[in-house]
Chains A and B, each alone.
Chain A
């Protein structure tokens, strides 16, 4: 009887939980040093961030947001980076094959805060916004690191020429 009840409640709760994680957001651990100093400032301590999925399906991002996206090199891997340029912007690159790049339509330019120790758009070029899965809004663990993640972009990494029309005019 108890087993049947357990099975029934699992059948009920599992889809609800998965839907909640898919639609609202979830907590994920940040690996690696690519986002220092904003995330993982001490190499041995891993930060846990809350990734908000609510409202990100229509790809409303701004420069300076920290987003989580599927790696364009390996679809099984997720990476967390900061948006530097949106579509239409002209950004100066750091070691990419072209010195300046205009971000194509529907793409964005992402970079890790730890310049030189990050696998980002300077390696693989602009990424399609469709790869974005969530936006990081806060560090939730460890408790002494609890804070909201601010939308900030260092002045030296601002786009050379910012596009005025960053929203999609198709819809």
Chain B
């Protein structure tokens, strides 16, 4: 009987602490680990552990933030300031990847809605299906145009311009995809810096 009641209180405390941890990480802030799985010159997918998502592994794309952040850095992020401030250019954010919902990306906001950015003109799908070969090839040629970031969207880029898949590749991302804002780096200890 005593064992059962001990077990019951243990389960109760575990559930309570799991719930408190979930709420803290989900609404206040969390820790994010940027981590490489294989060291190679090629950009490899980098898993990034976000404790909010029930301690599961997530993939982060390559060394895209390299002069600022390196792999195996642990970042402290917060989710509170979005309630009273809007995202500014220069903020480093953790967002869900727009091309893979199971993956997190860590990028810097370059432009917010209303700003002008240089972007590649999208290729309409009609060009893919048009009959004449040379006409299709002509339409597929990338054209750089100036465009405004639409309302509710932000333009994100990695600091490692040559080695980052970001808004230059998939266009502006909706603000709703942004999970949290990076506050500072807390690991390694020797490189604790606010960002």
Contact = CB atoms under 8 A, between A and B. Distances in A.
Nearest to A90: B125
Interface residues of A, number: 36
Contact of A102 (B98, B125, B173, B177): B125
Contacts of A114: none
B26 A71 contact: no
* Interface of A, helix, strand, loop or mixed by DSSP: mixed
A170 B98 contact: no
A85 B29 CA distance: 34
A170 B59 contact: yes
A16 B176 contact: no
Interface in A57-79: 57-59, 70-75
Instruction: Give the interface residue-count category, chain B.
Output: 35 or more
B57 to A, nearest CB: 8
A1 interface: no
Nearest to B177: A130
17 contacts: A12-B16, A15-B22, A18-B19, A18-B22, A19-B18, A23-B22, A57-B53, A58-B101, A71-B176, A75-B178, A100-B125, A128-B98, A128-B101, A168-B102, A170-B45, A170-B59, A170-B103
Interface of A: 12, 14-16, 18-19, 22-23, 57-59, 70-75, 90, 98-102, 104-107, 127-132, 168, 170-171
Closest 7 CB pairs of A and B: A130-B96, A70-B176, A129-B101, A72-B174, A106-B99, A15-B19, A59-B101
